[in-house]
Amino acid sequence: MITSDKEVRLRALEPEDLELLYHIENDRQLWDVGTTNVPYSRYVLHDYIANASGNIYNDGEVRLIIENGVGDTVGIIDITDFDAKNQRAEVGIVVTCENRRKGIATAALCQIADYSLRVLHLHQLYAVVGENNEAALELFRKVGYTEHLQLRDWLYDGKNYHSAVLMQIFL
């Protein structure tokens, strides 16, 4: 497993993260690379922050805020579709536009892999990445994920279907 010397901190969601969460969840450009296709209200997101236990065994997921070396909030990383029986989960990451290409996502993915192995005792993490999303493909390859399967017409952008790649890392 690859490591990073970039300083980032992963922490639990706090009420003050509402605006970042609102911005990311309602960014239509991100809808094309994920499974979200409806806007979320501040009320719904506030309720999510208030009621998420932070316990992956209860919620089936954990969402963490990414902070850079000086404590600025710069993104979100998720472990979702947690499967305790088969010791695997999906990972997703969003770094704010102005903080991309600075090594932050690499460092966050390395930390989440370490957490997944040492704390959650997972065997693997996976990501579904659009086959035309070169930046994301490069990022996941850089931290040790390998491409294992093409998912034909997996993502729909409202007009066209796009294929995706299942990428895995074994911890």
3-state secondary structure 107-169: HHHHHHHHHHHHCCCCCEEEEEEECCCHHHHHHHHHCCCEEEEEEEEEEECCCCEEEEEEEEE
The percentage of the chain sitting over the pLDDT mark of 70, rounded to a whole number, equals 91
Q: What is the mean pLDDT of residues 44-60?
A: 87
pLDDT given at position 164: 95
Confidence class for position 33, pLDDT limits 50, 70, 90: low
Report pLDDT digits (tens) over 138-166: 999 999 999 999 999 998 888 899 999 99
What's the chain's average pLDDT?
Answer: 90
- pLDDT at residue 116 above 80? yes
Confidence class for position 25, pLDDT limits 50, 70, 90: confident
Report pLDDT digits (tens) over 70-113: 999 999 999 999 999 999 999 999 999 899 999 999 999 999 99
